Chains A and B, each alone.
Chain A
């Protein structure tokens, strides 16, 4: 299955048939199933899905943060090199260097027994050739860049002395230390309050423009996707089911799951009405339904959905969907947003 744009030549990152499986007591389960996408330079790509859809594992697989019993196959092309086939030494230079990652829960991602300044310095030491004094100057600069007040004094503080929003800023400062060209963000604002989330999202967008990075942003919040992403890919049960520019996908979802997801979110002007819910629950990865994984919950499903994985249909240069009945989904109309 190939949900990628044709313009591979200019893509900053291009992922082809990325598959991640885990060996468990119940047998081999597939968390990410032949996922393909491109990230353009300076673009924010949103990976959307519910818990267990494989969005975080996809992100981790890109920089090989998946450890045994997990195995990753496929191709991740980054500046002419395939990250999946790279030796460990090579991937260590890229991971945290050219490609940085920020995580959902900064308290578990930061080392609790090291001051934040030391953790920034670690990254600078590994990925830059600055001397000690220059590294310290750069660390203060980075803390100021992400909006931590009294940066010089706070370099010596430990993560527990920071609030949730400040911890997330500190983690962004660490990831930016090496001037990354690609930022992988795994639900960085999910644990934060809405006013703090707003501050962090603006920070990521500002930094992206300032430093010319590309961003892959994993989230389950469609509001976040609408406000910061250029393109989006919707994941369900380990596969990308629909992809395209954010405006186009919101205006006219072609997959029943995307349509249901958009309808599940309350919107202004229709208070106290029934939401368009999706019946049932997302499948367990150990028991993914045959054919289209969404078929047991889909109101458009027919026999073919239960037998055959739907092929990818290209609806436009950047607009892809994997559904047998995408014409009928569109004909049913989009849920009012």
Chain B
């Protein structure tokens, strides 16, 4: 690999994904457009070689759809995803298979993502032979190697998925993805189905494997603590859009979007009693996330934002730079800066 560390491996440009809903006759007669779930609304970002990009958001924000678009399990309606400069939707035949090998996914549910009728050996051998990773004679040795890589006992190869615990099954999922020696690993809620003590084992494993195999990881999760722990950069999603994207520390210590601030403030603190003063300066999101079938006009967060003003309803804010490597999509350019509260109130009075 002759790669520079900051090189963009995957480029996502203005990706939009809609899932159409049934179009009722009465609605059609009235000339209404076909309703659809707007899962992704113009998402753009870069994934850099060797980094871990965390994608956080609440349920229904489109983070799993984005993960699936990245690995070509879903095709986007508008926009494009570039892998090494090529549009992945145009890849066919050998180039398509090569992409599938280089970008692998590990799924959320360890119970439904493994075929219950295949032993671990069959699962891994299938991956190895489809992509012709090893000659037939070496497959057995490679399977043993993979199992030790994810720290499963060697006798696991001839057992079925139901004989394993949740944490062990996620290891099998990881081994299956790593069998084809990918460059990018997309992990969708990798540990959210696991108990806390087992979560830590799998997170440790992921960190070690990334180091050892120089993997680029997209870590999709709703657990903020976990995302903060393992990501270099974090993208916060809300209602199908990225509202803030930045280096982990900058984003967590000084969020520049009201939604990020609300999300961080809502996450329960591990310090009993909380830090003094924290409760008073909190941003609280009112109400609930609007339906992605009828997203609000303007800024998607305007229905819940305590700082919303006229412009937020009229105009949709675009991602803009607000610091080194740090982007936010909010009309309040000063939000999150020290002593910004006065500027914000003046701005709202006289925008």
Contact = CB atoms under 8 A, between A and B. Distances in A.
Given A163-B288, A220-B195, A271-B248, A266 B229 contact: yes
A127 to B, nearest CB: 31
Given A250-B272, A277-B201, A265 B262 contact: no
B92 interface: no
B154 to A, nearest CB: 17
B202 to A, nearest CB: 9
A277 B207 CA distance: 13
Contacts of B269: 223, 226-227
B263 A50 contact: no
Contacts of A303: none
Interface residues of A, number: 44
B274 A265 contact: no
Interface string A228-270: 1000000000000000001100100000000011011111101
A265 B225 contact: yes
Contacts of B249: 271
Nearest to B265: A198
Contact of A50 (B195, B229, B262): B195
A237 B267 CA distance: 28
Interface in B131-169: 165, 167-168
B93 to A, nearest CB: 38
Contact of A278 (B168, B200, B284): B200
Given A261-B197, A264-B199, A194 B270 contact: no
Contacts of A222: 196, 270
B13 interface: no
B200 A277 contact: yes
B334 interface: no
Interface in B89-117: none
A301 B284 CA distance: 45
A260 B197 contact: yes
B271 interface: yes
B160 to A, nearest CB: 17
A260 B288 CA distance: 35
B204 interface: yes
B58 interface: yes
Interface in A125-172: 163, 165-166
Contact of B271 (A226, A266, A278, A282): A226
A193 B222 contact: yes
A266 B248 CA distance: 14
B266 A195 contact: yes
B263 A194 contact: yes
B345 interface: no
A274 B207 contact: yes
A224 B268 contact: yes
B167 A281 contact: yes
Given A227-B268, A250-B272, A337-B271, A194 B222 contact: yes
Nearest to A267: B270
B200 A221 contact: no
B273 interface: yes
Nearest to B197: A278
Contact of B273 (A198, A247, A278): A247
B127 interface: no
A242 B87 CA distance: 56
A174 B285 CA distance: 25
Contacts of A266: 203, 225-226, 228-230
A193 B289 CA distance: 10
Contact of A275 (B200, B262, B273, B289): B200
Contacts of B203: 266, 275, 277
B156 to A, nearest CB: 14
A228 B252 CA distance: 23
Given A50-B197, A272-B229, A197 B266 contact: yes
B224 interface: yes
B344 interface: no
Given A246-B272, A277-B201, A194 B195 contact: no
Nearest to A149: B287
A220 to B, nearest CB: 6
Contacts of B252: 268
Nearest to A226: B272
A277 B200 CA distance: 5
Contacts of A197: 266, 268
Nearest to A264: B200
Contact of B270 (A196, A223, A275): A223
A246 B52 CA distance: 34
A201 B268 CA distance: 10
A278 to B, nearest CB: 4
B59 interface: yes
B198 interface: yes
Nearest to A337: B270
Interface string B238-266: 00000000001100100000000011011
A267 B269 CA distance: 10
A272 B143 CA distance: 28
Interface of B: 52, 58-59, 165, 167-168, 195-201, 203-204, 207-208, 222, 224-226, 228-230, 248-249, 252, 262-263, 265-274, 284-285, 288-289
14 contacts: A50-B195, A50-B197, A165-B288, A193-B289, A194-B224, A220-B196, A226-B273, A227-B272, A266-B203, A268-B252, A277-B197, A277-B200, A281-B167, A282-B197
Leading 5 A-B pairs by shortest Cβ distance: A266-B229, A223-B268, A277-B200, A198-B266, A264-B200
